[in-house]
Amino acid sequence: MSKLYVVPTPIGNLRDMTFRAAEVLGMVDLILSEDTRESRKLLNHYKINTPLQSHHKFNEHRSVGAICSKIEAGTSIALISDAGTPAISDPGFLLVRTCIRRGIEVETLPGATAFVPALVNSGLPCDRFVFEGFLPPKKGRRKRLTELSEEKRTMVFYESPYRLVRTLDDLASFFGPERDTSVSRELTKIHEENVRGTLVSVADHYRLHQPKGEVVIVVSGKNDELSDKNTEE
């Protein structure tokens, strides 16, 4: 029976591809990807010749119906993103939801996701955490930061290198400058970096050292006990 396979791909190091992921990508009839040129490089590395079709945030609303019809007609399809697990701050949710609503089987493989190693590397509590993805760039940003300022769990954000300092400054403004944080970039690559400290100290570091590559920000939750102590003083 045909189905939709959701297949994670490496976030940097090509050796992080799982045996099962490579097997599925070589077995299906069609692979949906964000950027077919980038995906072809990965597939060529593993000698996978499965046809590719573009599937990204600008066309997914128009294409999900046709994709589901293909699966119902017997075509087995895999969904990948440029890096990591589809639907985690990447296209995929809409297609998965539509498949489920139409009674199409969905199988998601375990694999790479950038926020997991960043969270563990941070040294901050990871037994309970909240994943926020990308903060709103403009509209709704202030409201979201105000809400999160009371969050007691560890928080995880994605950010581009170009907006990193601005976001760290905003987090310091809403959460307090001494809140602990860890910024991870270029995860699994040769130049992987994890910078830990307070929101202010890490922001200052990146003011002097222009970051490159995709970034994960991990921030400690609000410490009520510490806040109460500071209030009493």
Asked if 97 and 129 sit in the same domain, the reply is no
Whole-angstrom Cα distance, residue 146 to residue 177?
A: 15
Domains of the chain: total:
2
Reduce the DSSP state of residue 165 to 3 states and report it.
helix
Instruction: Assess contact for 3 and 107: CB atoms under 8 A.
Output: yes
Whole-angstrom Cα distance, residue 32 to residue 23?
A: 16
Q: What is the CATH number of the domain that holds 95?
A: 3.40.1010.10
Asked if 96 and 134 sit in the same domain, the reply is no
Q: Show the domain range for 47.
A: 4-108
Residue at which a domain ends, from 93, 108, 123:
108
Around Cβ 49, how many Cβ atoms within 10 Å? Answer: 10
Longest dimension (CA), the chain: 69
Asked if 27 and 98 sit in the same domain, the reply is yes
pTM: 0.90
Strand partners, 158: 134, 216
Residue at which a domain ends, from 46, 79, 108:
108
Whole-angstrom Cα distance, residue 17 to residue 25?
A: 11
For 171, the enclosing helix (H) or strand (E) is helix 164-175
Q: Read off the amino acid at residue 96.
A: V
Residue at which a domain ends, from 108, 137, 156:
108
Asked if 79 and 103 sit in the same domain, the reply is yes
Q: What is the CATH number of the domain that holds 151?
A: 3.30.950.10
Asked if 94 and 11 sit in the same domain, the reply is yes
pLDDT by 10s per residue, the chain, length 233: 699 999 999 999 999 999 999 999 999 999 999 999 999 999 999 999 999 999 988 888 899 999 999 999 999 999 999 999 999 988 899 999 999 999 999 999 999 999 999 999 999 999 999 999 999 999 999 999 999 999 999 999 999 999 999 999 999 999 999 999 999 999 999 999 999 999 999 999 999 999 998 899 999 999 854 444 444 44
Tokens of 188: 């699994």
Strand partners, 107: 5
